[in-house]
Amino acid sequence: MPENPSKNAVVTGASSGIGEATVRQLRADGWNVIAFARRADRLAQLAAQTGAAAFAGDVTNDDDVARLLEFAAETFAGSGGIDTLINIAGGARGADHVANAKDEDWDWMFQVNVMGTLKLTRAFLPALRSHGRGTVLNLTSTAAITAYEGGSGYNAAKFAQHALTGALRLEEAEHNIRVIEVAPGLVQTEEFALNRLGGDKEAAQKVYQGVEEPLTAEDVAGVVGYAVGLPHHINLDQVTVRPVAQAAAHKLIRR
């Protein structure tokens, strides 16, 4: 990896979707990147294609997070240390109303979206503070801003991640750590709706049916790359990103 002391990032959720696209975007922009996700085979392909360093593990596993921290310290030792943590890992499971909510779906969403973000951020804060110009970017969702029917579990998890992000910004400003939140609306990726709806391909396709141009993973990755690439004194507190067809959470144009 080429030395670049001001551009050393860890990206979670990097084996697909927005996480993978973010790794590709940052590498194209000249960043040194560690791609972190559970699926080692997909990470290996991404590393071969982009030159990113791959590290397989689970954001909810304390041992994996500790090993990642050590790996990052070694990988970036000669180029100024890590300065940017990008928490992309997350997702939704189920679309039940509260009356039919499944404990296991809620538990999974809170573990991945909230506890995963907490564990990674807590682990890397000492290194980011030591660097002196650190950045944490958390990918939330417009589900963190507006509740909707059938979204209660995902709303709850993303509202919690949003609140964590806001508190972190207040707590770490004195350490010159900027904290950015990017909240996408409708993004068509290969797995998000499919995973949420239990692998039902027909139901997943209906989520995007008739929407002329939903956002893509690359669209969101471009916003992430822009936000972390700005001069460090500029903090984009919260960026809401929607397709034009989605004027609000309750207004989606389908042709």
| Residues in contact with 100: Cβ distance below 8 Å, sequence separation at least 6, in sequence order | none
Compute the CA torsion angle 15, 17, 21, 22 (nearest 10 deg).
-80
Q: Which of 148, 154, 208, 226 is catalytic?
A: 154
For residues 190 and 207, give the distance between their C-alpha atoms in angstroms, rounded to a whole number: 12
Q: Computed over its alpha carbons, how large is the radius of gyration of the chain?
A: 18
Please state, in angstroms and as integers, the Cα–Cα distance from residue 54 to each residue in 10, 68, 130, 199, 213, following that order: 10, 10, 24, 27, 32
Let me know if 154 is a catalytic residue: yes
For residues 180 and 102, give the distance between their C-alpha atoms in angstroms, rounded to a whole number: 31
Residue with tokens 């682990």: 123
Tokens of 119: 């564990």
The per-residue DSSP string of 143-208 comes to GGTS--TT-HHHHHHHHHHHHHHHHHHHHHGGGT-EEEEEEE-SEE-SSHHHHHTTT-HHHHHHHH
Rounded to 5 degrees, φ, ψ at 236 are -85, 95
Residues marked active site are found at 154
